[in-house]
A and B are shown apart, each in its own frame.
Chain A
């Protein structure tokens, strides 16, 4: 069974640019979660998508947005990049709303904003 796949693995962007990160969940999983992990810090919840809809979002500005496609893959978009957006962005998928089933994480996308 293929795991959660994220692309690209690494990315360097300039301040003010826009970026799109992609995530493909495990087959059969309908929920996709996005987390930000700044260097040396814990995971911060960004967004949760389930069945194509945004179900919840964390305490991040509106320039962080995303969507989920009919095949349950997801994109995370970040506009007007700032230096502090540099982080590891992790995607996780689950087959159940609410965390009673296992969350499986992807390997992440390392975003560096210069």
Chain B
């Protein structure tokens, strides 16, 4: 069964600290993996997209890693800011067919001063 699981469900960190969010998937065949940031009540905004051959991709203070062998990805946020408070959603695309996106339920990150 194609699934995407994220952990932790929620996380509270102090401003300025780093954190790492996890995404494990069983989607096959794999096409790509995206991390989205979703502010409360808003639509998700893409942070990174990674294909099978990419191990690491950065977008400012956000760094995503992908291990296609173990089917795991992580999103590392450095020097967190209050504006990082949001839900972070891992989305995996399947290589075959159409509308083949599988969504994780997200990690709710709260950054406190």
Measuring CB to CB, which residues of chain A are less than 8 angstroms from any residue of chain B?
A: 4, 6, 33, 41-43, 45, 48, 50, 55-56, 88, 90, 92, 97-100, 102-108, 110
Query: What chain B residues lie within 8 Å of A45 (beta carbons)?
Result: 99, 101
Measuring CB to CB, which residues of chain B are less than 8 angstroms from any residue of chain A?
A: 31-32, 34, 36, 41-46, 49, 89, 91, 93-94, 97-101, 103-106
Q: Which single residue of chain A is at the shortest CB-CB distance from B108? A: A40
Interface of B is mostly: strand
Query: What chain B residues lie within 8 Å of A56 (beta carbons)?
Result: 98-99
Contacts between the two chains (Cβ within 8 Å), count: 63
Query: What chain A residues lie within 8 Å of B93 (beta carbons)?
Result: 98-100
Asked if residues B41 and A110 are in contact (CB atoms below 8 Å), the reply is yes
Asked if residues A99 and B31 are in contact (CB atoms below 8 Å), the reply is yes
Query: What chain B residues lie within 8 Å of A42 (beta carbons)?
Result: 89, 103-106
Given contacts A42-B105, A106-B43, A108-B43, 20 further A-B contacts (CB under 8 A): A4-B43, A33-B99, A42-B104, A43-B103, A45-B101, A48-B98, A48-B99, A50-B98, A56-B99, A90-B44, A98-B93, A99-B94, A99-B99, A100-B32, A102-B34, A102-B46, A103-B34, A105-B44, A108-B42, A110-B41
